[in-house]
A and B are shown apart, each in its own frame.
Chain A
């Protein structure tokens, strides 16, 4: 990643290799081993693609949290090693905030609300009173996790989202599922239970996938719209693996159009978890307030969005 505000950023390389468990869900240790195995070759590939050498680096950025401890520590250790050996500053980035920043900076949005839906996270975040605040969020599981669990139970492979999207296109009948919105918060686990019960009772998989999508995505649109009204924002950006879903994008776009809000979709490669978004958010912080000392670089598994000192927007 090269650049600064307001002149703009350019992604020089953005290498992604997502961990896919052989079977079942993600085991933190296996995922961390995957990270450790792949980091050297990914780094080499990123250097080659960008045409940069270590001497060209100004700052090394890493995700300090939230996330799975073993995975965070693997990347943090690598970042510290790079920072020390190349003698460049280090910046620890909040993962959730980086999704928002990549959407804000790389689109024409100025002060957007972020609809962030991924495996582990489902949050609605906006800037208010000098901080990024979570206006709404899931009360149980992230939407992606729910889709993964559903996929696993009905015999679809990981990750569940793309399979559900594909099958949903062939769905024709809406099967009623619990629609669970509490103010700006939402809940998904009841939908999973109900969907699996319907499946057991013989419901077609395509109809079920269609019904799950329509229900969950309408809940996301509704809470996002509520948060727009409440936070008094008129721009929406999206982030996270789940928002790659075309049906979800179309629904959020419709909601925004009806409301007179603007809708921004960041470049597709920057929607799911990726390194470029961490670099971009880290670059913003670095320009505003410099790097962090080594002793402040410990990972924070439960790093909350509203704990981030947003020095670059003050």
Chain B
């Protein structure tokens, strides 16, 4: 499959609920500026606490993910005043856009590779907090994981299963024709985490049954 052309500098890549991602030219290379939006619906005390916490958190978790061998954008600079992180540019197209139209074998391999990446994150004590295919870029067979702003450090069964359960729900809602491929995500996950991975996968069901009408 042809790779989508990379962005030029000054393009808005994504305008999300939390932040806008814009490309820019810095340090002689293409980078991504991730600027958080303050939320007017939050009172100032809450907004400040959340903004500061999430930016610091994201920078820390990105570093930790890379140390654990998971491809994630390198943090090149951080400006707490402007609420902006300067991140390595990794590619144009999120897996969300390409997944449903990928040829079967490639798609299944991608699902498994995504599960392996999540497994490595969990193994390194990183809970991503917002796993969706919008936050994953697949390029040249490598899974890149983005947006750790809701992440946390943790290795408890419950935390891991909640992380995967949220991924399972968004995956099913986004990729209706291929919702069953989440089984391959779990397969990749278990391949990295072994018996512990199987326990986490089983715990997802427990969380689902705990919900009142789920």
**A contact set with B: CB distance below 8 Å:** 65-66, 96, 120-121, 128-129, 133-140, 142, 174, 176, 179, 181-185, 214-215, 217-218, 221-222, 225-226, 228-231, 251-252, 254-255, 258-259, 302-305
Contact = CB atoms under 8 A, between A and B. Distances in A.
A252 to B, nearest CB: 8
Interface of B: 16-18, 37, 39-43, 45-46, 49-50, 129-132, 134, 150, 162-163, 165-167, 169-170, 172-174, 176, 207, 210-214
Given A66-B212, A174-B45, A302-B213, A183 B173 contact: no
Contacts, number: 103
Given A134-B169, A135-B169, A304 B46 contact: no
B118 to A, nearest CB: 13
B129 A182 contact: yes
Given A121-B212, A135-B173, A255 B41 contact: yes
Contact of B162 (A133, A182, A215, A217): A182
A25 to B, nearest CB: 15
A218 B46 contact: yes
A146 B41 CA distance: 22
Contacts of B176: 128-129
A221 B39 contact: yes
A313 to B, nearest CB: 15
Given A128-B173, A226-B17, 7 more contacts: A138-B211, A182-B129, A183-B130, A218-B43, A226-B18, A230-B170, A254-B41
Name which of A65, A182, A218, A303 has the most chain B CB atoms within 10 A of its CB.
A182
A255 B39 contact: yes
B211 A229 contact: no
Contact of B41 (A65, A96, A121, A218): A218
Name which of B37, B129, B163, B214 has the most chain A CB atoms within 10 A of its CB.
B214
Nearest to B128: A183
A260 to B, nearest CB: 10
B177 to A, nearest CB: 9
A120 B43 CA distance: 27
